[in-house]
Structure 1
Amino acid sequence: MSTAPAHKRSMVDFFQRHIANPITRRLPTQVLLETTGRVSGQRRTTPIGGRRDGTQFWLVAEHGETANYIRNIKANNAVRVRIGGRWHSGTAHLMPDDDAQARLETLPRVNSALVRTFGTDLLTVRIDLD
């Protein structure tokens, strides 16, 4: 990774971790992803954007496999997703062969625009809901 994407990711990560995420986690309409911490074993919630399609939920991770929630999924792919205020259990699958740019075209526009703008290494994730 060159220094420009690393610097961009560092800035975006700081903003999300310390400013945006603490606020958006509290919004009742915000979609949340709950993973299990790969080291701590504690529940971790991350505000995400995406779309439910039947028994699946699709999202695009803007920092790919370097995102902490993706690293947690790699260690334990049992997750929960809060959609419309209700929690759903599921199994997350990383989809590196999926065209993340094309996938963003099928997801909510505002979130997709933010992911395109701030993303450094896009990765599609499919969650099969129980």
Structure 2
Amino acid sequence: MTRNPDLKYRVVSAFQRRIGNPLLRRMPLQTLLETTGRVSGLPRPTPVGGRRVGDSFWLVSEYGERSQYVRNILANPRVRVRIRGRWHTGTAHLLPDDDPLARLKTLPRLNSTAVRALGAGLLTVRVDLDG
């Protein structure tokens, strides 16, 4: 897209915030990660691509700690994940020592391709789901 990572981040973030995320949030089977806003305290649902493996849900943040939902996780790791239309509560963990490119190979292909193409500063996130 561009060689300037800050411009790339601003363009992709603006598109996601204004167009992509509002549309995807309305799709009943879209996977959502709901964090608590670190300033507002309000629920912040974000469409994500990932995969449930046992009692954990794995995803890769395309902008690492620059992503708003990752900043919210740093402030409060308690989250909810909507998988196939059903909500699950859990605790999110940021895994900077995990290889996000290798992790993407285990996650849904379409989303992984987009994250690789658009992202910079990838970061693996694991959500340990409650009971």
Q: Same fold (TM over 0.5)?
A: yes
Specify the SS of the correspondent of 2:91: strand
Percent identity, aligned pairs only, is 64
Cα drift, residue 24 of structure 1 = 0.4
Q: Which residue of 2 aligns with 1:65?
A: 65
Correspondence 1:93 to 2:93: yes
Alignment partners' CA distance in 1, 2:24 and 2:40:
23
1:39-69 Cα offsets, whole Å, 9 max, x none, are: 1111100000000001000000000001000
The one-letter amino acid paired with 1:28 is P
CA RMSD, Structure 1 to Structure 2 (Å): 0.8
The one-letter amino acid paired with 2:119 is G
Alignment partners' CA distance in 1, 2:116 and 2:11:
15
Alignment partners' CA distance in 2, 1:76 and 1:19:
26
Q: Which residue of 1 aligns with 2:114?
A: 114
Q: Give ranges in structure 1 of 5+ residues lacking alignment.
A: none
1:19-44 Cα offsets, whole Å, 9 max, x none, are: 11000000011000000000111110
- Report how many aligned residue pairs link the two structures: 128
Specify the SS of the correspondent of 1:114: helix
Correspondence 1:9 to 2:16: no
The one-letter amino acid paired with 1:95 is L
Alignment partners' CA distance in 2, 1:121 and 1:114:
14
Alignment partners' CA distance in 1, 2:29 and 2:15:
21
- Taking structure 1 as the reference length, the TM-score comes to 0.97
1:98-130 Cα offsets, whole Å, 9 max, x none, are: 000000000000000000000011000000000
The one-letter amino acid paired with 1:14 is A
Q: Give ranges in structure 2 of 5+ residues lacking alignment.
A: none
Alignment of 1:36-51 (within 5 A): 36-51=36-51
| Poorly superposed stretches of 4+, deviation over 4 Å | none
- Taking structure 2 as the reference length, the TM-score comes to 0.96
